[in-house]
Amino acid sequence: MNPIRLSLAEVHDFCHATLLANGLAELHAAAIARSIARAEADECHSHGLYRLIGYVASTRSGKAEVAALPELKPATPVVMRVDAHRGFAPLSIETGVPALIAAAKTYGIAALAIHDCYHYSALWADIEPATESGLVAFAFTVGQCCVAPAGGTQPLLGTNPFAFGWPGPKGRPFIFDFATSAAARGEIELKRRAGEALPPGWAVGPDGAPTTDPAAALKGALLPFGGHKGSALSIMVELIAGPMIGDLTSRQSLAADNGDGGAPRGGELMLAIDPAVFGRDSVGERLSIADELFALARQQPGVRLPSDRRYAARERTREHGVEIDPALFAELKALMPG
């Protein structure tokens, strides 16, 4: 069957209507619809329309609070907290990020902790507003507990993504965002749905043996990227996005989960730094050095910098929309009550 093609506006409106029909409050439905549409715009399908299934499941099961409003609580002039009150993350992020940017612009550096939320979105979208404001930004969150530490075979860690953003030239920040596992769990699920095998080294099955079967991987454990290096980074994310900010580790989140297939509960830490704090008179020169680094990298055949693919996708989808697998779209349409 031919793929279904939707404009980005249609993606947004479809998500918004589906979430409202399933009982989610307007502010949350709108924020999630914006989040999913942004992911599809950049052809980040693992955080796009596919995620609507989990959002609806957690709304119907009562796991997520459907109307709780996030509460911004400044801890110090440069440290802010948002209590999500067990709501979905996108609205909490939209609530806290403007305050993070303002504090970093005023004081040079700021931190934002999102607490007690159900996080299912891509981190690059969380920090892009900060980088577009001229800030350097970081984000960390604890993902679903399905990753074995290097050398192990049992899930202990989350997929634990982190992101870094630099205010790049011509309004195109340099941003990378990736899981510390060999692949995000959503990528494994999409390959299972498509009947595709995993690359070797991504996962082990329930028996601890290496597997390329996505279904076996989901029952077993994903592996960290880069062996012991990815494993150490994963533990770092567990610590700073979990106990350091007073939120759950991935193992604690799994123990508290109701098994509805939706997002895990936990927190997110975001940091923002204004390069001007290290010398306002020289900031332009320092940023131009980074621009030269990017340009020299791109001169080498075969080099593609992080976020280049997303920006190219963004131009395509703005004009042509996005393609959706017909089977997935049928499943998504079935989410509408009645």
For the annotated catalytic residues, the residue numbers are 46-47, 187
Query: Kindly report the CA angle at 175 between 170 and 180, in degrees rounded to 5?
Result: 170
Q: Specify burial of residue 7 (Cβ count, 10 A radius: 0-12, 13-18, 19+).
A: middle
What is the SS3 assignment for 199?
A: coil
Phi and psi at residue 37, to the nearest 5°: -65, -40
Chain centre to alpha carbon of residue 298: 26
Phi and psi at residue 110, to the nearest 5°: -155, 160
Dmax (CA) of the chain:
62
Report how far residue 159's alpha carbon sits from residue 140's, in angstroms, rounded to the nearest whole number. Answer: 11
- Beta-strand runs (E) in the chain: 4-6, 71-76, 79-83, 109-118, 136-141, 145-147, 157-158, 162-166, 174-178, 203-204, 210-211, 221-222, 265-273, 322-324
CB 115, CB 83: distance < 8 Å: yes
Report how far residue 94's alpha carbon sits from residue 234's, in angstroms, rounded to the nearest whole number. Answer: 26
